[in-house]
Structure 1
């Protein structure tokens, strides 16, 4: 039992509600996803032998290519929003982007610790307990508004031997954008293998609006997948300029679901 599981297991943590899972990919992958009816897994740079799909809990936090030049619509993010239980047996769950941790993009105060101490897939209700412990509720988690440090340490009677827990809480408060961003405390869930969309249908699909101008694709999203199509307008902007708008769409969708 690692340090984070032990912390979540030993304390009387009030579980949060469940948030949907969000898978983000480049929009040019939409055609293949529709044709195959699968979100296909790929070999991972960090876990070399695993074919994985990555999901983030409640936030569209994945960032792919991020150049500064004007982006074409097919380069832009497309988000698939799923019910939380779509990943029945997660391969791994981390409270942050494990790739950023592996590439030492986080501050030394947490990167000096062992990544394995933060993997929580072995704990029942781990995600709800994690959100409840560090944020209190799902809306605070979505807004990245973690509990006050002093209150947090007092609530759970943390000692000098709880370095991993203190480091994780500090990471949630870290306001520097150099080298890392909202992925610093967005819960990552890994699924081994492809996700079959004929079995696990999305709740919503967020993509550049031009895709939903195609009646065949729009019909597929609405009537084959039973999902809500959510389009966003494109401009002469870099990819980074779109993340805020996507967050706004996700926030509104989660509010309509009543989960934040």
Structure 2
């Protein structure tokens, strides 16, 4: 897949900002360290990795039906002039792949065959291939199968590309959700939270009660979007945090 992207004449679409999702319980650790912290990865052991999704969050926790306040999603929206050193890039959540949350038409292949790292421009090429534009990627509106095959002259040897595009077209399920169609970037070190790199933060509204914490967050970024804490499953908050990220883009003048 990587070889196809790099040998193609695909337009290199503008790369959207990156998002890092975590449980709110980590917010004090991140603020104190002024870094997004890398943790030991259960998929690519023994690497310590910090994970991002390009453009929109794809919250990675397993479903919880009665989550505690500290388990709700927190999102950092980042835009780098010079990106941190990338370890791997996948067109989906690699953890969900390894956990067999995706259909067998994808997981029959080795996960490393989908790693497109080595050239960061492959993110833009992948967006152009499967979605055409960053906005359509953000909205999860991929191209149709026949259009993809016709425009790029795909043959049976391009089976990994067809599998990724099919996965993007599939309707979300409890097993797959939005992790099936979000580009994942992993970094092998802590990532400093610098004002020039931090676009905004998404956090539940009850954290506004933590005045000292919230004041620190406002020193870090102008754009803080909160969402209401209502009875819901953990995955029930996903659409809300995506809307919050979209509002941050609009407030910051980001056009995808």
Structure 2 length normalisation: TM-score? 0.93
Q: Does structure 1 conserve the Cα–Cα contact (< 8 Å) formed by 2:59 and 2:238?
A: no
Q: Provide the residue aligned with 1:92 in structure 2.
A: 88
Q: Deviations over 1:1-53 (max 9, x none)?
A: xxx11211222111211211111111111111112222221111111110000
Q: Provide the residue aligned with 1:5 in structure 2.
A: 2
Aligned: 1:235 with 2:241: no
Q: Deviations over 1:179-229 (max 9, x none)?
A: 111111200000011112247742111101121233322221222x23411
Q: Which runs of 5 or more structure 1 residues have no equivalent in the other structure?
A: none
Q: Provide the residue aligned with 1:43 in structure 2.
A: 40
Alignment of 1:216-227 (within 5 A): 216-223=212-219, 225-227=220-222
Runs of 4+ in 1 over 4 A off after TM superposition: 198-201
CA RMSD of aligned residues (A): 1.8
Aligned: 1:244 with 2:250: no
Q: Does structure 2 conserve the Cα–Cα contact (< 8 Å) formed by 1:37 and 1:196?
A: yes
| SS, match of residue 207 in structure 1 | strand
Aligned: 1:193 with 2:189: yes
The 1:124/1:192 distance shift into structure 2, 3 A limit, reads: closer
The 1:90/1:107 distance shift into structure 2, 3 A limit, reads: same
Q: Deviations over 1:132-166 (max 9, x none)?
A: 11101011101111111111111110112111111
CA–CA separation in structure 1 for the residues paired with 2:151 and 2:69: 47
Q: Provide the residue aligned with 1:75 in structure 2.
A: 71
Q: Provide the residue aligned with 2:177 in structure 1.
A: 181
Aligned: 1:66 with 2:50: no
Q: Provide the residue aligned with 2:21 in structure 1.
A: 24
Number of equivalenced pairs: 255
Q: Which runs of 5 or more structure 2 residues have no equivalent in the other structure?
A: none
Q: Deviations over 1:76-118 (max 9, x none)?
A: 1010100045633200000011111122221111111121221
Structure 1 length normalisation: TM-score? 0.92
Q: CA deviation at 1:176?
A: 4.7
CA–CA separation in structure 2 for the residues paired with 1:99 and 1:239: 18
The 1:36/1:178 distance shift into structure 2, 3 A limit, reads: closer
Which 10-residue stretch deviates more, 213-222 or 122-131? 213-222
Q: Does structure 1 conserve the Cα–Cα contact (< 8 Å) formed by 2:56 and 2:242?
A: yes
The 1:116/1:85 distance shift into structure 2, 3 A limit, reads: farther
Q: CA deviation at 1:236?
A: 2.5
